[in-house]
Amino acid sequence: MTDTTITSTSNASAPVARTTDHATFSMERTFPQPPARVFGAFAEPASKAAWFVGPEGAASAGHTLDFEVGGREHLATAMPDGNLVTFDATYLDIVPDTRIIYAYEMTVAGQRISASLASIELRAVPGGTHLALTEHGIYLDGLDRVSERERGTRELLGKLAAHLDEAVPG
């Protein structure tokens, strides 16, 4: 669903189209590690920083993680094109080894491009962990699209899998 509002701005000669595109997507993946290891990759700052990174050619411009209910996470990434992309999340619900729910917004060059609510559910299965991710997003002013968010999330789950394969159980 897309909504459009035309807004005049004082420093622009033409009206700016303000749009909201609402979309939900889900992804599932099974990892050969137990739920505690998969959960730890989200909960432990050093582990999360190892895989929760931008695309090839991007550079971290700072990452903080306060992984608790009401805690915040901030990631800034300098993209190859020179833009700064930020991810700012608040954790709403955390059940160790089982569930993570968070709300987040993203910006590019200081302009908000989306706001989302996401859940990650972990379930023990024979030989590992089944992860189910669902995201409800509002993509703003044509600056982001659900297809791009799905692609980026799929890439991050691949980086998580590689990190878990390399990580030594602790």
| pLDDT at position 25 over 50 | yes
15 falls within a domain: no
Structure tokens at 101: 């729910």
Structure tokens at 127: 């030989």
155 falls within a domain: yes
With beta carbons less than 8 A apart as the criterion, state whether 144 and 152 touch.
Answer: no
Number of domains in the chain: 1
Tracing tokens 């590992």 back to the chain, one arrives at: 128
pLDDT in tens, 39-91: 999 999 999 999 999 888 999 899 999 999 999 999 999 999 999 999 999 99
Q: How confident is the model at residue 17 (pLDDT cuts 50, 70, 90)?
A: confident
Structure tokens at 56: 């090839």
With beta carbons less than 8 A apart as the criterion, state whether 23 and 14 touch.
Answer: no
Q: Assign residue 97 a region: left if phi > 0, alpha if psi is -120 to 50, beta otherwise?
A: left
With beta carbons less than 8 A apart as the criterion, state whether 137 and 149 touch.
Answer: yes
pLDDT in tens, 100-133: 999 999 999 999 999 999 999 999 999 999 999 9
What pTM does this model have? 0.88
7 falls within a domain: no
2 falls within a domain: no
11 falls within a domain: no
Domain with 57 in it: 23-166
CATH label of the domain that carries residue 111 = 3.30.530.20
Give the span between the Cα atoms of 94 and 92, in whole angstroms.
7
1 falls within a domain: no
10 falls within a domain: no
| pLDDT at position 136 | 98
